[in-house]
Structure 1
C-alpha cells in the first residue's frame, strides 16, 4: 500500500464518498471523517491506494495504476444490532422461511446440533426453536415448505428432513433419508420438483447434479449432467436457466430445459474463486472470495458481460439483496454492504465487523447473519430509515396509462396484467418515474386477471386462457403459446415446470410444462374439484393452498399436498367468511384477504389450520382487505380505505400506518424498498422501507490525478486528486 495525498477543493463542509471505479477503490465518507471530521476548502487527507489497476490510467500521466474517479454524495447508513444467539457450532449456511431461520451447524468431528431452527418473529429476541444432532461437516441447506434438504462435505451425502414441526427437529419422523453423491455438497437450490446441487471436486469432474424430488423420500433419481467442471461451488436457478459459480472457472450459464442434457449457453472468466450467484433480473452478482464481488449482465445468456468489480477486503462468500443494497458475507471482515443503485459503479456503504461471517439472509428489512459464533440479527438502513410511515411517504407515484389488475416485479422490471388492456412491462428502476417498455394489447373479450413470472417467461391468466410470454427482452414481449381452458379462470401460480390455474367454477388444474412454449391440455396432471369460486392459490414446497369466494360463511380455505402430482390429496379445509380475494403463504403463516377482514392463520400442520388473528388498525377497528402481502413481520393489505402496513411482531399490540388513495386495489406486492399496488385503473408505488443505498443521489463529478512522484519502475508513490466544487442536492 502507498499513501496518496488528496487535495479537496470545494466550498463549505460536504461529506463525500470518493469512488475510483477503475481500480475498485472505495473510500467511504466514514473513513475520511475518521481523519477529518470537518473537511473544508483545500484540506489534505491521507488515503490508502494499492495501484493494482491500469485500465483507466489518466491521459495526463505516465504513472502506473492511477486515473479518473467518480465523486458522489455519501450514503447515510446506520447499523442497529438487534440480537445474538450463541451456538455450539459455526453456522455455515442459513435460510429464512417465514418467521423461522434454518441453519447448518458445521463441525468437522461432531454432529451435535448440526441442524437448527430459530424463531425470529421478533428479530430483537432470537429464540432457538429446536436442534437436531445429525451429521458432521453439515455445510449447506435449502428449504421448501416443510421439507429441508441438507448437504455434507465429509460424507458426500444429501439428506432430507421433514420440518413440518420446527419446534421438534429432534423428534422421530424428521429424518427422511439420504443418499451418497460423489463430491463435497457445497450448495443446493430447489425449483418445482427438481433439486439442483453443486458437488465440488466430483471425481468425474461433473460437479453439477440434478435430483428429481417429486416425492421427497429417497430413493430419488440422481441425474449426472453432461456439464464438465470439478469446480462448482454455488448456483442459482431461474426458470430454464442455471447459473453456476465454478470457482477458478468463473461463471457458467446453462439451459436446463432438458434436465438430462443441459446446454452451456455462456461462460465468463472472472478473477478469484467464484463461490455464489445471486440473481436480480437481468443482472447476477457473483461472490469471488478474496477478489470481492462481480456484477454481470446476463440478459443475453449467450454472452454474459462483466459490468463492475468491487474489492471487499475479505472473503466474499454469500450475498443477500434488499432493493439497491447488497449485503455480502465477507468472512473475517464481517458484513460488507454495497450500494448497487448504479450498476456500473458499486459503492461501499459500511462494513460491520462480526466474528467470521459465512452467510447472510433477510427477514423483511432485518439482516440475518450466520457466523462462527452463532446467529446475529441487525438493521442496516439509512439513518432514521427502516420501515416508513406510508401515510407520510414521499411517494406515491403512479403509472396511469393502462389498467393494472396484477403485478410481479423482478429486478428493475414490473410485469403487469392489465385486465382488458392486455400485458405490459415497466422499467421501475427509478420508482419516481416508471417508464413503459412494451405493451401487448388484447381483444375486448379477453381480460388478463393474474400474472406470474419465472425465468425468461411470464404466464398470464385471462378469463378464458393461459398465455405464455417470452420476456427475455422486457422491451419486446413475445407471445409464444396460448392454452384455451374455457370460461371462468382466475389465478395462476408457477413453480418450476408446474403451473397451477384456478377456476371460478371451483377447483384448480395442475399442468406440467417441461418444454418452453408448449402449453397444451395434454400436460394436465390433475384437476381436483372443490369450492365454488377459487380466487387465489399459493404453493410452498409440496403444499398447495387455495381460497374460495362463495359469499357464505363455510369451508373456504383449503390445503393439499402434491406428493403424487397426478393424485393431489386434500389435507384440510377450514371456515372463513367466504369473501376471499387474495392469499399469500410465507413459512407457517397464511395471509388471507377476505374482503371485510385480513386474516392470519398458522398452517405449520397441513392437516390442522389454526386461526391466529384478524388485523385491526390503531383504533381497534377491523381492516378490510382485498389484497395482501407481507414483508417479514409486516403485513401490507389493501382495502377500500387505502393500503395499510401492520406490524405483527406482537400479535397483542398491533401498530399500523395507512396510505388512503388506493381504493381500487386488486393486488399488492413488494420488491426491495417499495410496494406496488395494482389499483385497477393505475399502478401505484409506495415506499415502505428506507435502506442505505436509496440515499444515493444521481449526480456525479469526475476527478483526475496528477502525479507528484513516481518510482523508477513507474509506480506512483504520491499524487494529488483535484476536482471542481460540487454539492449534490440533498447533501448537508
Structure 2
C-alpha cells in the first residue's frame, strides 16, 4: 500500500486501485473517487493535475486528477521492469526500476510519454531523489548510486556510496540525504559534493527501515517488518534522536507527511492519520561563548521527562577518542535551562563539546555538538586572589596570551614591596 498527500487530498494505492479521499477533516476522511490500473501500485507522485503511479508490473501510469471524483488514466509507458518510484521535474519523470536502474521518461505530452534516456545500475533500484544535475538512487545491496542527469538523454554514473545496509528509500532536504537502510536503520549523508558524499549521522533502528520522509526538523521512518512508524529529531543531523513511535496493525512500508499530520499506509489495515504535533525537539538550543579565560556552555531542552542528567564530553583534533567529561553527571533541576563552565583551556586550540543526555535506564544519548576555538586577546589577565580575605596563604592567578616568563610583585597598601 502506498500514499501521497496534496493539500487536503489523500491519494493512496490499494493493490491495483488508486483511491482519492478528502481529508479536510483528518478525523473523518471521505473517499471521493477511485480508478484502477493493471497491476499493483507501489508508489504515487503528484504534480499539478496529474498523479504518476509506479505500477510495479506495468510501468508508469499517468492519471488526470483535475476532477478528484473521476480520476482517469490518460497515458502510460510500459517498457519498465519492476517500477518502484517516480520523481517528476520539469518535463521528465525519473523512474527507479528494480531491474533496470534509472529510466528518464519525457512527459511533456502526458498522453504519449516517451523514453528519453536510461542508465542501468547494479543492484535493485528502489527509490530516486533529485538535487541539481544529479539523481540519487537507493540501489538496495549496491548502496547509493549518483547519476549525472544534466543531459537527460545520456545519463551516466558520477559516483556511489557503498552503504552498510540495504538502501531501500531516500529523500533530500537541503544538502542532506536521508536514507532508510534496512537493518542498518536511518543514515544521513552530506551531499554538498555529489562526487564525494559522506555519512555524518545514523540511528540503528531495531527492525527494517524501509521508507523515509522528512518534514522540518523531523524524519519519519517506516519499519515494515515490525509494523512501526518512527519519528526522529534531526535538528542535529550528526545525532538523530528517536522522539516518537506508533505501531500499526500490519506492516507499513509507505507514509507521507503534511505539516503536523502523518499518513501511514498499512498493508491490509488501511490508512492511519497520525497527529505528530507532540513529537518535540528535545534540544531547543545549545550555545557556547568565550568569556575572558573560560568557555561558557548553555542549553535549553523541551522536556525533562525520563532524563536524570547531562554529560559534556570534550575533545581536540589531537585527541581520540573524547577525553574530558563532566563528573559527576550534571543533574536535572526544576528548570529546562542549563549551564556549564570550562576553565581548563589552552590558547589557540579548537575544542569540540558533545552534549549527552542520561536517561532513567542509565543509557546515554548524544543530542548536540559544537566546535569552538579558544583564543585569548593579546593582553594579560590578572585575576582576583583567592581566597580573600585569607590566612595564612592565598593564590593569585594570571593568564598570558602565550607562554612567557612572568614577574609578579606584591605591595602593601603603603606601596612597600612585600614579595616578588
Is 2:255–2:263's contact at 8 Å kept on the other side of the alignment?
A: yes
Is 1:253–1:301's contact at 8 Å kept on the other side of the alignment?
A: yes
**Counterpart of 1:363?**
258
**Counterpart of 1:103?**
12
**Counterpart of 1:337?**
231
Is 2:83–2:98's contact at 8 Å kept on the other side of the alignment?
A: yes
Instruction: After TM superposition, list the pairs within 5 Å mapping 1:246-395 onto structure 2.
Output: 246-331=139-224, 332-355=226-249, 356-372=251-267, 373-382=269-278
Is 2:301–2:337's contact at 8 Å kept on the other side of the alignment?
A: no
**Counterpart of 2:336?**
730
Out of 175, 178, 183, the position equivalent to 2:81 is: 183
Out of 159, 163, 169, the position equivalent to 2:65 is: 163
Provide, for residues 549-582 of structure 1, a one-character-per-residue CA deviation record: whole Å limited to 9, x for no partner. xxxxxxxxxxxxxxxxxxxxxxxxxxxxxxxxxx
**Counterpart of 2:36?**
133
Aligned length: 305
**Counterpart of 1:425?**
none
2:305 aligned with 1:695: no
Is 1:330–1:336's contact at 8 Å kept on the other side of the alignment?
A: yes
**Counterpart of 1:145?**
48
Is 1:247–1:275's contact at 8 Å kept on the other side of the alignment?
A: yes
**Counterpart of 2:138?**
245
Which fold has the larger relative contact order, with Cα–Cα distance below 8 Å and residues 6 or more apart in sequence? Answer: 1
Is 1:702–1:723's contact at 8 Å kept on the other side of the alignment?
A: no
Is 2:39–2:58's contact at 8 Å kept on the other side of the alignment?
A: no
The structural deviation recorded for 1:233 is 0.7
Equivalent-residue separation in structure 2 for 1:280 and 1:157 (angstroms): 27
> Could you say if the C-alpha distance between residues 178 and 431 of structure 1 is closer, same or farther in structure 2, counting changes exceeding 3 Å?
farther
Equivalent-residue separation in structure 2 for 1:165 and 1:431 (angstroms): 46
Equivalent-residue separation in structure 2 for 1:227 and 1:351 (angstroms): 37
The structural deviation recorded for 1:267 is 1.4
Equivalent-residue separation in structure 2 for 1:119 and 1:235 (angstroms): 28
The structural deviation recorded for 1:98 is 1.6
Is 1:147–1:164's contact at 8 Å kept on the other side of the alignment?
A: yes
Equivalent-residue separation in structure 2 for 1:201 and 1:310 (angstroms): 29
Is 1:227–1:264's contact at 8 Å kept on the other side of the alignment?
A: no
Provide, for residues 254-287 of structure 1, a one-character-per-residue CA deviation record: whole Å limited to 9, x for no partner. 2211112223333111122101111111111011
Instruction: After TM superposition, list the pairs within 5 Å mapping 1:462-611 onto structure 2.
Output: none
> Could you say if the C-alpha distance between residues 180 and 120 of structure 1 is closer, same or farther in structure 2, counting changes exceeding 3 Å?
same
Equivalent-residue separation in structure 2 for 1:234 and 1:368 (angstroms): 19
Is 1:245–1:276's contact at 8 Å kept on the other side of the alignment?
A: yes
Provide, for residues 522-550 of structure 1, a one-character-per-residue CA deviation record: whole Å limited to 9, x for no partner. xxxxxxxxxxxxxxxxxxxxxxxxxxxxx
Provide, for residues 584-604 of structure 1, a one-character-per-residue CA deviation record: whole Å limited to 9, x for no partner. xxxxxxxxxxxxxxxxxxxxx
Equivalent-residue separation in structure 1 for 2:263 and 2:48 (angstroms): 20
The structural deviation recorded for 1:235 is 0.6
Q: Which moved more, 1:143-152 or 1:295-304?
A: 143-152
Out of 91, 95, 110, the position equivalent to 1:197 is: 95
Equivalent-residue separation in structure 2 for 1:431 and 1:130 (angstroms): 46
2:127 aligned with 1:229: no
The structural deviation recorded for 1:240 is 1.7
Equivalent-residue separation in structure 1 for 2:284 and 2:337 (angstroms): 20
Equivalent-residue separation in structure 1 for 2:259 and 2:239 (angstroms): 26
TM-score (norm 1): 0.39
TM-score (norm 2): 0.67
> Could you say if the C-alpha distance between residues 726 and 262 of structure 1 is closer, same or farther in structure 2, counting changes exceeding 3 Å?
farther
Instruction: Give secondary structure in 1 for the equivalent of 2:330.
Output: coil
Equivalent-residue separation in structure 2 for 1:214 and 1:256 (angstroms): 17
> Could you say if the C-alpha distance between residues 180 and 339 of structure 1 is closer, same or farther in structure 2, counting changes exceeding 3 Å?
same
Equivalent-residue separation in structure 2 for 1:180 and 1:117 (angstroms): 24
Is 1:235–1:277's contact at 8 Å kept on the other side of the alignment?
A: yes
Provide, for residues 271-309 of structure 1, a one-character-per-residue CA deviation record: whole Å limited to 9, x for no partner. 221011111111110111222111001111111001122
Equivalent-residue separation in structure 2 for 1:246 and 1:272 (angstroms): 11
> Could you say if the C-alpha distance between residues 135 and 251 of structure 1 is closer, same or farther in structure 2, counting changes exceeding 3 Å?
same
The structural deviation recorded for 1:327 is 1.1
> Could you say if the C-alpha distance between residues 226 and 130 of structure 1 is closer, same or farther in structure 2, counting changes exceeding 3 Å?
closer
CA RMSD of aligned residues (A): 2.9
Equivalent-residue separation in structure 2 for 1:257 and 1:696 (angstroms): 47
> Could you say if the C-alpha distance between residues 159 and 694 of structure 1 is closer, same or farther in structure 2, counting changes exceeding 3 Å?
farther
Equivalent-residue separation in structure 2 for 1:345 and 1:302 (angstroms): 24
Is 1:194–1:210's contact at 8 Å kept on the other side of the alignment?
A: yes
The structural deviation recorded for 1:228 is 3.0
Is 1:357–1:371's contact at 8 Å kept on the other side of the alignment?
A: yes
> Could you say if the C-alpha distance between residues 723 and 349 of structure 1 is closer, same or farther in structure 2, counting changes exceeding 3 Å?
farther
Provide, for residues 302-357 of structure 1, a one-character-per-residue CA deviation record: whole Å limited to 9, x for no partner. 11001122122222222222221111111133211111121111111121111211
Provide, for residues 422-452 of structure 1, a one-character-per-residue CA deviation record: whole Å limited to 9, x for no partner. xxxxxxx99999xxxxxxxxxxxxxxxxxxx
Provide, for residues 122-181 of structure 1, a one-character-per-residue CA deviation record: whole Å limited to 9, x for no partner. 11111111122323322122111111111222x332111111111123xxxx11132222
**Counterpart of 2:393?**
none
Q: Which has the larger radius of gyration?
A: 2
Instruction: Give secondary structure in 2 for the equivalent of 1:261.
Output: coil
Instruction: Give secondary structure in 1 for the equivalent of 2:69.
Output: helix
Equivalent-residue separation in structure 2 for 1:250 and 1:118 (angstroms): 36
Q: Structure 1 unaligned segments of length 5 or more: list them.
A: 1-90, 387-428, 434-692, 704-721
Equivalent-residue separation in structure 2 for 1:137 and 1:183 (angstroms): 13
Equivalent-residue separation in structure 1 for 2:94 and 2:86 (angstroms): 6
> Could you say if the C-alpha distance between residues 192 and 367 of structure 1 is closer, same or farther in structure 2, counting changes exceeding 3 Å?
same
Is 1:105–1:139's contact at 8 Å kept on the other side of the alignment?
A: no
**Counterpart of 2:21?**
118
